[in-house]
Structure 1
């Protein structure tokens, strides 16, 4: 049974603990999705739907902490259309959960992520972030782009906890400061994951065992989140942007590799 396997299998936690530390550290420190590699690692021992179900309550806890830490630092002009669009994506994910091949979805997200980093690094003078946060609203938010990336992030987050690359591709061109980038991402995924929590509950995906496993992993996530907060304060803004692109490249490559292994 899943319960005996998860509670007693040491290798499950050997993979889960470092993966979850990456997830929570990136959430607390960068507002960026190192955590997208958590699902493939944990899925070596459990099916992906069960991994996503286990991670969701843990992510909701860290989302609330990150939301408090970065309160007032998010950019509402960038969120006011993206969050409703994400709800649409979550609705589509609820309908498509048992019909869409996850491997092709991961492959598409991975290819887009790698191509985005390639294009940004070819034009570094246009990608350099600001050294200080801007107080004025972010100008020239294109509704079509906002709606597309918001819905894509919500959909891929629902299907495979892979919503971060899409949101990152939407946010990075605005050259936000460290705290604004992290705050905007924290606010977005707090809304997304709490909505997913309701959807997963309606679908009956939570069990006593998945909730117990989530509880066991939560202290690890809290540790990583607070470590991320400390690191964020010491990070140079330009370095932050380059590091963000590097993380996105790793995420994209990982998604492509794991997807092709399944497809081929």
Structure 2
């Protein structure tokens, strides 16, 4: 019973991210890892991501950044390939520390610019930065469904309109999650039993996606992105705490 309660909560949080609250998804694997191996937790959640992705694509299908898609989709694919062959040699704490530093670095720059009280010009999408951050997002997403911080570090400075941001995010991560399926099956992280468990949890993921969509649509754009930055900061603190004290 404890497993199903925790797994249902992890599925709901995952769904929230697909409905328009992207950064909170990084909490799902650590939450489920309290009761099972992190690699198996990632495998159990992947089918739920695929189901929730379909809903997210439907919700945000009308607005997206074509240029970002052209840059990021190949980049995350490269990241998945790298992670597939290198994951066994990458320490979990090293990945957590990297994600925390990325989050803190972005937030530090954002706060510094706000304190300087000057309007920051949007950074346009560019290939070198997109390939770097996209590849990193593919690697960290493969390991623990935690591609959010690298993705945010690249996309948030562009200051996309809210629905375009959500649509771009939905498409990139839907493609990324399908790219992970063959590798997860090959290494045994996803199997028939985990797929059956995921089907029982699917209603929680869809409920979360619906809830996230209602919240994201009601929030004004400035508050929406401020909440994403706050969530990014909380997640970064959590990851750093796990590295230093657990």
Report the Cα offset of residue 139 of structure 1. Answer: 7.4
In the alignment, is residue 175 of structure 1 matched against residue 159 of structure 2?
A: yes
Instruction: Determine helix, strand or coil for the equivalent of 2:194.
Output: helix
Report the Cα offset of residue 127 of structure 1. Answer: 7.3
Structure 2 length normalisation: TM-score?
Answer: 0.93
Alpha-carbon distance between aligned partners in 2 of 1:197 and 1:110, rounded to the nearest angstrom: 26
Match of 1:4 in 2: none
Match of 1:39 in 2: 29
Alignment check: 8 A CA contact 1:155 1:163 kept? yes
Alignment check: 8 A CA contact 2:56 2:170 kept? yes
Report the Cα offset of residue 126 of structure 1. Answer: 6.2
Alpha-carbon distance between aligned partners in 1 of 2:175 and 2:155, rounded to the nearest angstrom: 17
Match of 1:245 in 2: 229
Match of 2:196 in 1: 212
Structure 1 length normalisation: TM-score?
Answer: 0.87
Which structure 1 segments of 5+ residues have no match?
1-9, 130-137
Match of 1:191 among 156, 159, 175: 175
Match of 1:135 in 2: none
Alignment check: 8 A CA contact 2:113 2:120 kept? no
In the alignment, is residue 87 of structure 1 matched against residue 77 of structure 2?
A: yes
Which structure 2 segments of 5+ residues have no match?
none
Instruction: Determine helix, strand or coil for the equivalent of 1:97.
Output: helix
Residues 154 and 19 of structure 1, relative CA distance in 2, 3 Å threshold? same
Alpha-carbon distance between aligned partners in 2 of 1:72 and 1:65, rounded to the nearest angstrom: 13
Instruction: Determine helix, strand or coil for the equivalent of 1:33.
Output: helix
Alpha-carbon distance between aligned partners in 2 of 1:235 and 1:118, rounded to the nearest angstrom: 24
Alignment check: 8 A CA contact 1:102 1:160 kept? no
Query: Where is the helix percentage greater, Structure 1 or Structure 2?
Result: 2
Match of 2:93 in 1: 103
| 1:33-79 residue CA offsets vs partner (Å, 9 max, x unmatched) | 20101111110110110000000000011011101111131111112
Match of 1:156 in 2: 140
